[in-house]
Amino acid sequence: MNFNRDFPYVVACYLIAVGLFFIFSDMLGAGYLAAKPPGKYYLYGLSVIFIGAGIGAVYLKYLGKLRRAGKSITEVRQEAIQNLNDTALLANITLEETDPEVQQAAETRLKEISK
């Protein structure tokens, strides 16, 4: 399972599960949730909203409208490194950076400046 790709589905399933939980908990007479009118109607309305939001998220993901827009943080950081001229800062990024792509960009930029 690719978590970055499937995250909208995980959230949608969670929303649907919460909505179903509230509806069925009340319908089955669970002791921890005893809603009486008019609170029962609000509970059902909220449950329908959760289920609708989950189904809507699945639909939008299916249509491809939940894609990430713009550059990732790593891409922005790599571009910023290309504009750096401070060798001490680049060396620090090379030694202490946890993101390997950013670290590699800093190493490459440091080699370019050192020539």
Side chain identity at 24, as an amino acid letter?
F
pLDDT in tens, 6-28: 888 889 999 999 999 988 888 88
- Signed CA dihedral, 15, 21, 24, 27: sign only: negative
Residue-range domain boundaries for the chain: 3-63, 73-114
pLDDT in tens, 94-112: 999 999 999 999 999 999 9
What is the pLDDT at residue 34?
74
pLDDT in tens, 65-97: 877 778 888 899 999 999 999 989 999 999 999
| 1, pLDDT greater than 70 | no
> Could you tell me the pLDDT band of residue 51, with boundaries at 50, 70 and 90?
very high
Any idea what DSSP says for residue 105? H
Alpha helices of the chain — where are they, by DSSP H?
3-27, 39-63, 73-82, 87-96, 100-114
Q: Are 90 and 113 in contact (CB under 8 A)?
A: yes
